Structure 1
Amino acid sequence: MMSDYHLSTKTLRPVLVKLGCSIALGVATVFAMPIVSSSLQPVLGTHSVGIAHAAEKSEKPKRSTRRTPAIRAKVYEKLNEAQMAADEKKYNEAIRLLNELRDKEGRNSLNSYELANLYNMYAFIYFTQEKYEQALDAYRNVVKQPDIPEAMELNTKYTIAQLYFVKEDYKGGVSTLLEWFKAKQALGEDPGAGAYSLLAQGYYQLKDLDRALKYIEVAINDYTSRGKVPKEQWWGLQRYLYYEKNDIKRVAAILEETLKHYQKKAYWLQLSSMYNELKMDSKATAAMETAYTEGVLDNDKELINMAYLFLSQEVPYKAAKVLDQAIKKGDVPATSKNLELLGNAWRQAQELKKAIPEMEKAAAKSDKGELWSRLGNIYLDNDQFDKAEKAIENAFKKGDLKRPDTAYLVLGMARFNLQEYEGARKAFKEAAKSEKSADYAKQWMQFMTKELERQEALKDG
């Protein structure tokens, strides 16, 4: 699982804004259900176009062919006054001014465009107060008005779809968004990559993963075809959907592309994980090493994992260097297990003088004999026979040895080199009780017997 690599969980973050901005939902590095956080900025037009919502910042509304009535000066002034109150966060005052305009002028006396702008301002204030249902009702009233500009009607419908997403009513959001798509396409207008990504998010939440993948790829391809870098969260959703299809190769390719533009630790860890699943061990190690070199591996599990990857690739020196530096800096705790791993890494790297102190510290922290047995073996390899003997004796005192027969072999060889022949013979006899070590122990006893005979012959000579 990708989550096994300590991926930090993030959320989808839709943002609704007024006149010139839009909701943008995205799946971050990790794939999670959305928690909404939103902001809204009101703008009142300075001419008869009035207040409207835009689906994309760069979108230019198509010129309406409808005959739209103008906003009268006295109505404009009241709307502007209400907006100024809203700008100052005097929402009750703003609502009072709107109610006054509605009641004094009378709904029947306000023309359709004036009513559309009135409801639009209500919607903005309710949304700002997180009264989403009331905001939705107000926006619905906007599009009910006849003879409003097509651009205003379209953009308000898009905003309604966005509000459904804010309310986590994804079925309503997708349905409304599809209506909006149909209207846009009827006008010969491109909905835009942002709208396709929003639709993909909706289908993702409805667990229609095939449609979600279809539309997020439309959004990504739209950007890449124009030389633009797709949004980070778009790639996040795309790779999640391929991961659900168990297309690990495609997930790895998406991560490779993402990392060209968005350098984050989580992506390196995920890429290493995908390479592992693909049995591409060297690439998995290389991905982690890049993250390590960049200094983004910052917890003990990640650093220890890095060391294990180096050991698996038979580069123990790098594993030892990673652990040594991490333990000295305090990034990895100096536990018996971690010190043993460091000692073994140094040993595999043929750095016995560095391995021994680490194994000594590891053994001293352990309440079991196993580490003392391994330490005795290292002492023997380093021709420190007296220390090897003491370490093995200590191992037997502590007990809990996995292979006591091999410990007896080490003890026998250490004593032989110390010319403690009787003690060596006893140790080899104990080792010979195990089928796994019997032949080797007997060979040593035969060798020792011949060696003693040779020594006696030299004396007689």
Structure 2
Amino acid sequence: MTDNPKSKTRLHPVLVNLGCSFAIGAAAVLAVPVASSLLSPVLQMSGPGQAFAQDSENKERRETRRTPAIRAKVFEVLNEAQVAADEKRYNEAIKILNGLRDKTGRGELNSYELANLYNLYAFVYFTQENYPKALESYENVIKQPDIPIAMELNTKYTIAQLYFVAENYRAGVKTLLEWFKFKEDLQEDPGAGAYALLAQGYYQLNDQDKALRYIEVAINDYEKRGKVPKEQWWGLQRYLYYEKGNTKKVVELLEETLKHYQKKNYWLQLSSLYNELKRENEATAAMEAAYEQGLLEKDKELVNMAYLFLQSEVPYKAAKVLDEGIKKGAIPATSKNLELLGNSWRQAQEVKKAIPEMEKAAAKSDKGELWSRLGSVYLDNDEFAKAADAIESAFKKGGLKRPDSAYLVLGMARFNLEQYDSARRAFKQALKDDRSADYARQWMKFMENELARQEALKDEI
């Protein structure tokens, strides 16, 4: 993997470059979901002198607390501060809260009033991205006695999230586990999101076993409810299985993810992993699915698509991808790409389409190799004079990997042009290399027999 799993700059990994030949991707960061619903309404009450409204669904199971009422005058000041905060007059909001907080004597605030005061402080600080101050304020909320249970639960969960934002994962996990225990005592379901957050915390603490356990709890919870798990949850699950070396499981998870989240990187990753598992046809099919959806845009992606088609022995599709890409400008018309296009057409038995591409490729090259290959294409199309000229150009430019093969092509071209002496010289050069010796010898024998046959015909006439 390209990412360091111990890095503290990420809160969540996604499966990216898997180290395979066609894997393409980039790491993504999942911000800890400090939802606005946990921060507002900041005044957790329905009006002056009324206590916090507890969750009706779990009301009967929650213990009864005698929560003091918020006095009307206090409510009015808190409301004034909240209006200032909503209008982004943050300094004014803080000033109002400071004045209320510092009241003493008969005007001193009770525990529930203080809880709402600190909750509003936290909201202002969080909005200003002053997370240490926001965290301190939320801690002060739960220090107050006799606050509503729902308020304590929500605040503790928010504190855990803020620890994650501050990259204090150990404190975040500890707080989250306390919150889970609180939920358990109330016989309430923590919910899939909480399990996913806990999984992220354990991942950051490098406890991959617990991270995997809890992310699977979150995913299974959603699936049992008929809901589609969140994309990043599957991303963490895939990453953890990949780290365990369970490539087959990663493939299964990618296949499931793609049923709901059609993204290019997932198709590319799946194709890469299929290749790793030697499932070449499925690797091609995965990449083709991305291509057909118009998801492949970069030249390397399109060229990789062509190579996969060639690997799967469907050169015509490879040629079509390259041809269309070059014409649209998505693939640079370099000598190498033009040669690949020419070879693809040639393998698809479309020699007439291969020739102009190979000509353009050779014209862009300062080495003889492409001219040698062009000579072979001309020979296949029975253009013997052009084949001979191309091979001569190849030798002039030099740098041939297989001069013996070039001499064979030249010999065959000269033979068909009835330039037998030149053909014989070319075949003799090919004889010098053991890789072409047998073939050159057969051609020389065939040519000598042909010459003898022609002489015999002359004698008969």
- Give TM-score scaled by structure 1 length: 0.92
Match of 1:102 in 2: 101
For 2:397 and 2:143, the matched residues in 1 are separated by: 85
**Alpha-carbon deviation of 1:46?**
2.5
Letter aligned with residue 347 of structure 2: Q
Match of 2:185 in 1: 186
Which residues in structure 2 correspond to 1:27-426 (within 5 Å)?
41-44=40-43, 45-47=45-47, 48=49, 63-105=62-104, 109-426=108-425
When structure 1 is superposed on structure 2, of 108-117 and 420-429 the one drifting more is 108-117
Q: Is the 8 A contact 1:363 1:375 kept in 2?
A: yes
For 2:221 and 2:450, the matched residues in 1 are separated by: 83
Distance change in 2, residues 1:230/1:329 (3 Å): same
Letter aligned with residue 326 of structure 1: G
**Alpha-carbon deviation of 1:49?**
5.9
Letter aligned with residue 379 of structure 2: L
For 1:49 and 1:432, the matched residues in 2 are separated by: 104
**Alpha-carbon deviation of 1:43?**
3.8
Distance change in 2, residues 1:329/1:348 (3 Å): same
Distance change in 2, residues 1:450/1:281 (3 Å): same
**Alpha-carbon deviation of 1:305?**
0.5
Match of 1:455 in 2: 454
Q: Is the 8 A contact 2:199 2:210 kept in 1?
A: yes
Q: Is the 8 A contact 2:62 2:186 kept in 1?
A: no
For 1:97 and 1:149, the matched residues in 2 are separated by: 24
Q: Is the 8 A contact 2:54 2:148 kept in 1?
A: no
**Alpha-carbon deviation of 1:195?**
0.4
Q: Is the 8 A contact 1:53 1:156 kept in 2?
A: no
Match of 2:31 in 1: 13
Superposition CA RMSD, Å: 1.9
Q: Secondary structure at the match of 1:436?
A: helix
Distance change in 2, residues 1:366/1:280 (3 Å): same
For 2:337 and 2:410, the matched residues in 1 are separated by: 26
Q: Secondary structure at the match of 1:147?
A: coil
Q: Is the 8 A contact 2:160 2:171 kept in 1?
A: yes
Letter aligned with residue 89 of structure 2: K
Letter aligned with residue 380 of structure 1: L
For 1:239 and 1:194, the matched residues in 2 are separated by: 18
Distance change in 2, residues 1:266/1:339 (3 Å): same
Percent identity over paired residues: 72
Q: Is the 8 A contact 1:272 1:288 kept in 2?
A: yes
For 2:328 and 2:445, the matched residues in 1 are separated by: 51
Q: Secondary structure at the match of 1:394?
A: helix
Letter aligned with residue 30 of structure 2: L
**Alpha-carbon deviation of 1:15?**
3.2
- Give TM-score scaled by structure 2 length: 0.92
Q: Is the 8 A contact 1:53 1:159 kept in 2?
A: no
**Alpha-carbon deviation of 1:442?**
1.9
Cα deviations by residue, 1:244-287 (Å, 9 ceiling, x for unpaired): 11111111111111111111111111111111111111111111
For 2:423 and 2:34, the matched residues in 1 are separated by: 82
Distance change in 2, residues 1:108/1:163 (3 Å): farther
Cα deviations by residue, 1:367-419 (Å, 9 ceiling, x for unpaired): 11111111111111111100000000000001111110110011011001101
Q: Is the 8 A contact 1:50 1:117 kept in 2?
A: no
Q: Is the 8 A contact 1:83 1:94 kept in 2?
A: yes
Match of 2:4 in 1: none
Distance change in 2, residues 1:53/1:268 (3 Å): farther
Aligned length: 439
Distance change in 2, residues 1:213/1:108 (3 Å): farther
**Alpha-carbon deviation of 1:9?**
2.7
**Alpha-carbon deviation of 1:52?**
9.6
For 1:187 and 1:53, the matched residues in 2 are separated by: 13
Q: Secondary structure at the match of 2:435?
A: coil
Cα deviations by residue, 1:156-197 (Å, 9 ceiling, x for unpaired): 111111110111111110011011111110111111101000
Q: Secondary structure at the match of 1:275?
A: helix
For 1:53 and 1:343, the matched residues in 2 are separated by: 73
For 2:417 and 2:50, the matched residues in 1 are separated by: 101
For 1:106 and 1:444, the matched residues in 2 are separated by: 115
**Alpha-carbon deviation of 1:51?**
7.3
For 2:127 and 2:443, the matched residues in 1 are separated by: 86
Q: Is the 8 A contact 2:111 2:146 kept in 1?
A: yes
For 1:377 and 1:49, the matched residues in 2 are separated by: 92
Distance change in 2, residues 1:105/1:156 (3 Å): same
Distance change in 2, residues 1:273/1:51 (3 Å): farther
**Alpha-carbon deviation of 1:108?**
8.0
Structure 2: give runs of 5+ residues left out of the alignment.
Answer: 2-15
Q: Is the 8 A contact 1:170 1:205 kept in 2?
A: yes
Structure 1: give runs of 5+ residues left out of the alignment.
Answer: 22-39
Q: Is the 8 A contact 1:52 1:120 kept in 2?
A: no
When structure 1 is superposed on structure 2, of 216-225 and 129-138 the one drifting more is 129-138
For 2:111 and 2:202, the matched residues in 1 are separated by: 35
Match of 1:30 in 2: none
For 1:187 and 1:446, the matched residues in 2 are separated by: 96
Letter aligned with residue 17 of structure 1: A
For 1:407 and 1:157, the matched residues in 2 are separated by: 78
Letter aligned with residue 88 of structure 1: E
